[in-house]
């Protein structure tokens, strides 16, 4: 996957058609579906791939997975409405040459019908199609935990990216939610949801170490979520990801925050440059994004280790930083 080019004109035309026809951008969910769309079902998937091509010779994998339980089920609708801003900053402002974006959703494997949904890596408007296929189940276990660890397992073991395999540069993984991960990846849940076998449960810290070798991983907690600002939730993620935990005061600014985080990681911009770009494209998110990314911007400018520790003895060029 990953062929084609994003077109805002195509996006706008599709939105106008839906408005005229009285249909939803999330037709699968809003039609009353109760099961994962076949195109997003992770069961039996060997890997989702982000690959180079003549059209996209420097592919950069970006994955955005969001909790769709409880108060978080409205997040995909906001992201879908902001796709032009995200792609506009990545492409027109040169933050990434050939971004390939995958969207997915996270639920609770202990009780939900759709505990994990994963699209394809796309460079064109098919990423909007994948967003529209997401089942906004709105369930969850009610225990301040959801199956983020299962999503990280999939990203660690069921993705293949040329940016990492060819160039030693990790992709970007954004988890958007308001709760904690379970303490381990459970063997029986992997078998049931993904259809893969593992010998034993994997502790949470172990799967985080594994996924961050391939993915520069961030957790975003937006305002308005059930556990926004919750000390226990934030502390658990900061213990796992350090300063790659982003509190954002306005859900409408999430796409801009993602774009600037990628721009910072690719050394394409400074934080000040990125905030100026937001103003240039007519976004009003600059103050919110500035507060959310202040620590990341400072960390980028200070300079840190550029590849995962396990890769320091290889011949790859410097990659994006791990904060």
Where do the structural domains in the chain lie, given as residue ranges?
8-311
- Homologous superfamily (CATH) of 8-311 is von Willebrand factor, type A domain (3.40.50.410)
More confident residue, 313 or 157: 157
The rounded mean pLDDT for the chain is 87
Compute the distance between CA of residue 66 and CA of residue 199 in angstroms, rounded to an integer. 28
pLDDT > 70: what percent of the chain? 89
pLDDT band at 2 (very low <50, low <70, confident <90, very high): low
Of 74-78, 93-97, 199-203, 307-311, minimum mean pLDDT range? 307-311
Residue 23 pLDDT exceeds 50: yes
Whether residue 119 contacts residue 133, with contact meaning beta carbons closer than 8 Å, is answered with yes
Whether residue 257 contacts residue 248, with contact meaning beta carbons closer than 8 Å, is answered with yes
Best CA proximity match to 39, nearest among 106, 134, 128: 134
Q: What's the pLDDT score for residue 296?
A: 82
Residue 48 pLDDT exceeds 90: yes
Tell me the average pLDDT across 30-58. Answer: 94
Sort strands 202-203 and 184-185 into parallel, antiparallel or unpaired: antiparallel
Residue with tokens 């949801």: 193
Residue with tokens 């961030």: 218
More confident residue, 282 or 314: 282
Q: How far apart are the first and last CA of the chain?
A: 29
Angle between helices 231-241 and 204-214 (to 10 degrees): 60
Q: How far is CA 160 from CA 1, 46, 157, 266, 320, in A?
A: 11, 9, 8, 20, 17
Sort strands 171-176 and 59-67 into parallel, antiparallel or unpaired: parallel
Compute the distance between CA of residue 54 and CA of residue 52 in angstroms, rounded to an integer. 7
Q: What's the pLDDT score for residue 266?
A: 95
Tell me the average pLDDT across 46-51. Answer: 97
Q: What's the pLDDT score for residue 298?
A: 62
Residue 262 pLDDT exceeds 90: yes
pLDDT band at 78 (very low <50, low <70, confident <90, very high): confident
HSE-CB for 30 with a 13 A CA cutoff = 12
Give strand pairing partners of 276: none
Tell me the average pLDDT across 305-320. Answer: 40
pLDDT > 90: what percent of the chain? 60
Q: What's the pLDDT score for residue 142?
A: 60
Q: What's the pLDDT score for residue 140?
A: 60
Phi then psi for residue 237, to 5 deg, are: -75, -35
Secondary structure (3-state) at 122:
strand
Of 70-74, 145-149, 203-207, 209-213, minimum mean pLDDT range? 70-74
- What is residue 72's DSSP assignment? G
Per-residue b or e along 91-108, where b marks 16 or more CB atoms closer than 10 Å to that residue's CB? bebebbebbbbbbbbbbb
Residue with tokens 């034993």: 200
């Amino acid at each position: 996957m990953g062929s084609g080019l994003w077109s805002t004109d195509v996006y706008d035309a599709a939105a106008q058609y839906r408005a005229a026809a009285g249909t939803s951008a999330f037709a699968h969910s809003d039609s009353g579906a109760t099961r994962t769309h076949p195109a997003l079902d992770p069961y039996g998937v060997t890997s989702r791939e982000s690959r180079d091509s003549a059209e996209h010779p420097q592919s950069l994998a970006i994955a955005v997975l969001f909790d769709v339980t409880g108060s978080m089920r409205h997040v995909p609708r906001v992201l879908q409405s902001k796709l032009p801003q995200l792609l506009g900053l990545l492409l027109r402002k040169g933050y990434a040459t050939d971004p390939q974006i995958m969207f997915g959703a996270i639920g609770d494997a202990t009780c939900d019908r759709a505990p994990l949904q994963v699209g394809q890596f796309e460079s064109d408007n098919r990423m909007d199609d994948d967003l529209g296929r997401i089942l906004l189940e709105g369930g969850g276990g009610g225990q301040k935990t959801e199956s983020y660890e299962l999503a990280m397992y999939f990203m660690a073991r069921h993705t293949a990216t040329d940016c990492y395999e060819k160039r030693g540069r990790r992709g970007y993984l954004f988890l958007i939610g308001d709760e904690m991960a379970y303490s381990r990846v459970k063997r029986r849940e992997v078998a049931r949801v993904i259809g893969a076998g593992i010998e034993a449960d994997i502790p949470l810290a172990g799967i985080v170490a594994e996924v961050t070798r391939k993915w520069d991983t961030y957790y975003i907690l937006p305002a308005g979520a059930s556990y926004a600002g919750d000390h226990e939730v934030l502390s658990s993620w900061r213990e796992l990801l350090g300063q790659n935990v982003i509190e954002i005061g306005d859900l409408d600014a999430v796409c801009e925050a993602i774009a600037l985080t990628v721009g910072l990681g690719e050394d394409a911009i400074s934080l000040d440059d990125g905030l100026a770009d937001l103003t240039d494209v007519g976004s009003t998110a600059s103050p919110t994004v500035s507060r959310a990314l202040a620590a990341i911007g400072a960390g980028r400018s200070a300079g840190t280790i550029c590849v995962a520790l396990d890769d320091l003895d290889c011949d790859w060029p410097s990659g994006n930083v791990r904060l």
